[in-house]
Amino acid sequence: MQTFDIVVVGGGLVGASLALGLADSGKRVALLEGQTGRFADLEQGWDARVYAVSPANRAFLDSLSAWPAMDRVGTIDTMRVRGDQGGVIEFDRQDAGSEALAWIAENRWMLAALWHRLEESSVTLLTGHTPIALATTALDATLTLDNGEVLQSSVVVAADGANSWIRKETGIEASVKPYGQSGVVANFACERPHGNIARQWFFGDSVLAWLPMAGNRISIVWSTFQPERLTALDDETLAVTVAEAGGRELGAFTTLTPGQAFPLRLIRPERTVSQRVVLAGDAAHTVHPLAGQGVNLGFQDAALLARLLGAARDPGDWMVLRRYERERREAVRTMQMTCDGLFTLFHGRDLPGLPWLRNTGLSLTNRLTPLKRYFARQAIG
């Protein structure tokens, strides 16, 4: 049996950043990740899975010395959104009072930066094994791994994704709302400069976002009810389809990574803490990607947990875990309700006047500068 103060299950962005945030806390910290190999060897090629990282969360990663090299990071200075019947709204970094609205970073390169630092830290890295049993008492939690090893800890943090094994094993029920859509992601080289502008179109039956990457490249997220129409295309046809969907604003495209699809769901667990167990990241919540806030919510979970667990004499104390749950509840629910409401608003076809309402609302907000600035500052965290 190995004994720790904190065991983090899941070595993705949220789990890795939390473990690294706890590395200098004086606690005995373990990070359990089922995949084998060195995450630090991921710095190669283009990754179609990218994230829009807010200024607050970039500051969190900077504090861990785990921000990717800037030649792999795109900057969003302006966000331009268009409705399906002429509505338009545009935000820029001055509206938010920030040096940027967000930065576009690739999943693999962010993971590599975090794991480079983890391999130099005091965190015990346990890779290539998964938990098969979890038991908790009022005093500790015990994880049994698939190789027979046993980990005993004051608290187990579930950062093991939307299909969290820890959440299910703990008996925490979660409501799941499938959107019926999949998000199709791919990367492209552009004929014309993107100008650090993120572009988004609501088409009535789908949502397309062009996100500026480093250099003259973009990444897309196309939320659609028929993803196979995109993933079945060859590289050349996909590039033409995506360019034309955006009115060829950036000229011709060249496909860098083929289209990949992942299903979109809204997940709301009934609670995010249990006896000696706490949920973080997608294990605790998911949102529709149309606002690009999923990973930002997860990093905010990690930052708060690192502060609370690192300072606590007993990191698994019920009052410590409940404080985390209370402090994160409002931000998470607000973002889930906002994204869910936008999905309903821009995909609703049955109510008379709804297309006019949503497009008028976009354009009206664009003209109300104080309201627009408020929304911009909320969006950057």
Residue ranges of domains in the chain:
2-48+108-177+266-344
pLDDT for 215-254, tens place per residue?
Answer: 999 999 999 999 999 999 999 999 999 999 999 999 999 9
Sign for the pseudo-dihedral over CA of 261, 55, 101, 189: negative
Dump strand ranges (E) for 83-202.
88-92, 102-106, 124-127, 131-136, 141-145, 150-158, 174-190, 197-202
pLDDT for 289-309, tens place per residue?
Answer: 765 677 899 999 999 999 999
From CA 237, how far away is CA 233, in angstroms rounded? 6
Indicate whether 139 pLDDT > 70: yes
For the full predicted model, state whether its pTM sits above 0.75. Answer: yes
pLDDT for 98-133, tens place per residue?
Answer: 899 999 999 999 999 999 999 999 999 999 999 999
Strands 102-106 and 50-53: antiparallel
pLDDT band for position 358 (cuts 50, 70, 90): low
Closest by CA to 285, choosing from 298, 296, 274, is 298
What are the Cα distances from residue 376, in Å, to 59, 80, 195?
A: 18, 12, 19
From CA 33, how far away is CA 42, in angstroms rounded? 15
From CA 68, how far away is CA 280, in angstroms rounded? 22
What is the reported pLDDT for 91?
83
> Do the Cβ atoms of 81 and 359 come closer than 8 Å?
no
pLDDT band for position 348 (cuts 50, 70, 90): low
Indicate whether 272 pLDDT > 60: yes
pLDDT band for position 351 (cuts 50, 70, 90): low
Count the neighbouring beta carbons within 10 Å of the beta carbon of residue 377: 14
Q: What is the amino acid identity at position 256?
A: L
From CA 48, how far away is CA 105, in angstroms rounded? 10
Closest by CA to 189, choosing from 252, 258, 246, 236, is 252
Residues 6 or more apart in contact with residue 190 via CB below 8 angstroms? 216, 217, 218, 250, 251, 252, 253
What is the reported pLDDT for 331?
87
pLDDT band for position 341 (cuts 50, 70, 90): confident
pLDDT for 53-105, tens place per residue?
Answer: 999 999 999 999 999 989 999 999 998 988 776 778 888 888 767 899 999 99
pLDDT for 160-200, tens place per residue?
Answer: 999 999 999 999 999 999 989 999 999 999 999 999 999 99
Domain 2-48+108-177+266-344 has what CATH class?
Answer: alpha beta
pLDDT band for position 368 (cuts 50, 70, 90): low
